[in-house]
């Protein structure tokens, strides 16, 4: 395994309840395998996001030691994605097909529905951003909330609904609210026909999350899964939807395990990124493609980056992201990353 650092800026900071995300630092991971004397390179990406994963320093240290475990999820993600990509290439199948076969699920999808992501801003700017997304073909939009006063966020939820009367709308509070505010905000979201609110309460409040369910809008957990096992969330009846981030869960295999556990318990699962480079976004796309009839996923985050590791080979058309041809992550499309010496 080898790994090389990178730093990617966002086009503009993404406003969240935990402050803006401005750039993403991580490591491009490469592993080599020998297939009938031919060298096969698998690509992975370890892009830690403190609060969700280990720190950048701990990620580097884990990659240096080799074979990272789930205590350093970003490092494990980079390594396990690279291995899975190499194995898919060796067997000449798309990554999603390999993941689906390993997990005993049926044929993987050729495209995955995705949501647009709109950061914190004024009600007017929020409405403009939502309108722009719907005009460019998205029919599901997620709005970040929790960075301003509840009353201001209620105005934003309303402005977004007015701007997109027919869209599926979601909100993401990133754990910003207490129980009382969360209950009020969920009532407002239900009234405006939002589909669900992501992490309305802090990660550890499983009891509070369970009590919020059933008020006319779904409860989704995201941060909760960075510190609690899926089984604990299901036992607590704490969610209608699990938001699965392969980077925070420690890799594509662990993410698909989590999705299956949720589905078996009748709980929905979607896949999103932590605003990753193209390699990890593609990895997340393949995971999503291996989940039968997956709802819209938070994978449309490439446009938030000002630069990237390589051109994105997974275009979004009419609200769906197409899965590139194989083998592996994207056939020859990421050749320049696999063989950095060539031109």
> d(Cα 190, Cα 245) in Å, to the nearest integer?
25
Locus of tokens 């995971």: 287
Q: Provide, for the chain, the percentages of residues in helix, strand and coil under a 3-state DSSP scheme, each rounded to the nearest 5.
A: 40, 25, 40
H/E element, 220: strand 218-221
Among this protein's residues, is 144 annotated catalytic? yes
222 sits near Mg ion (criterion: CB under 5 A): yes
Torsion of CA 308, 342, 56, 225, to 10 degrees: 60
**Contact between residue 222 and residue 198 where contact means Cβ atoms under 8 Å apart:** yes
Residues 20-39 that bind ligand OSB (CB under 6 A): 21
Among this protein's residues, is 142 annotated catalytic? no
CA distances from 294 to 50, 111, 202, 260 (A): 28, 10, 26, 11
122: three-class secondary structure by DSSP: coil
- Considering only 31-39, 127-135, 149-157, 166-174, which stretch makes contact with Mg ion by CB under 5 A? 166-174
120 sits near Mg ion (criterion: CB under 5 A): no
Binding mask 168-197 for ligand OSB (x = CB under 6 A): ----x-x-----------------------
Minimum CB distance to ligand OSB smaller for 24 or for 30: 24
- Considering only 33-41, 78-86, 200-208, 272-280, which stretch makes contact with ligand OSB by CB under 6 A? 272-280
Decide which of Mg ion, ligand OSB, none touches 275; Cβ closer than 5 to 8 Å per partner kind: ligand OSB
Binding residues for Mg(2+): 172, 198, 222
Query: Which of 41, 72, 108, 272 forms a contact with ligand OSB (CB under 6 A)?
Result: 272
45: three-class secondary structure by DSSP: strand
Question: Could you list the active site residues?
Answer: 144, 245
Q: Which residues bind ligand OSB (CB under 6 A)?
A: 21, 49, 115, 117, 142, 172, 174, 222, 272-275, 298, 301
């Amino acid at each position: 395994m080898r790994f090389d650092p990178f730093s990617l800026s966002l086009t503009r900071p993404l406003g969240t309840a935990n402050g803006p995300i401005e750039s993403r630092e991580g490591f491009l991971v490469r592993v080599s395998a020998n297939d009938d004397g031919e060298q096969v390179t698998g690509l992975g990406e370890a892009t830690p996001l403190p609060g969700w994963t280990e720190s950048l320093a701990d990620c580097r240290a884990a990659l240096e030691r080799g074979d990272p475990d789930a205590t350093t999820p970003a490092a494990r993600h980079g390594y396990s994605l690279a291995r899975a990509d190499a194995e898919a290439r060796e067997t000449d199948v798309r990554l999603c097909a390999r993941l689906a076969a390993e997990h005993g699920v049926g044929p993987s999808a050729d495209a995955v529905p995705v949501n647009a992501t709109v950061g914190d801003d004024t009600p007017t700017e929020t409405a403009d951003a939502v309108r722009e997304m719907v005009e460019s073909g998205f029919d599901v939009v997620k709005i970040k909330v929790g960075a301003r006063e509840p009353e201001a966020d209620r105005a934003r939820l309303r402005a977004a609904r007015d701007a997109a009367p027919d869209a599926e709308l979601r909100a993401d509070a990133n754990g910003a609210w207490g129980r009382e505010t969360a209950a009020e905000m969920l009532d407002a979201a239900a009234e405006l026909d939002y589909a669900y609110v992501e992490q309305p309460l802090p990660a550890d409040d499983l009891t509070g999350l369970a009590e919020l369910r059933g008020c006319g809008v779904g409860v989704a957990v995201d941060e909760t899964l960075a510190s609690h096992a899926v089984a604990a969330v299901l036992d607590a009846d704490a969610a209608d939807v699990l938001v699965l981030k392969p980077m925070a869960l420690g890799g594509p295999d662990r993410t698909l395990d989590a999705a299956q556990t949720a589905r078996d318990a009748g709980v929905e699962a979607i896949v999103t990124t932590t605003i990753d480079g193209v390699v990890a976004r593609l990895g997340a796309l393949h995971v999503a493609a291996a989940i039968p009839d997956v709802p819209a996923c938070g994978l449309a985050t490439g446009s938030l980056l000002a630069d990237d590791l390589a051109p994105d080979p997974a275009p979004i058309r009419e609200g769906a992201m197409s899965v590139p041809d194989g083998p592996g992550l994207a056939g020859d499309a990421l050749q320049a990353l696999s063989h950095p010496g060539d031109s």
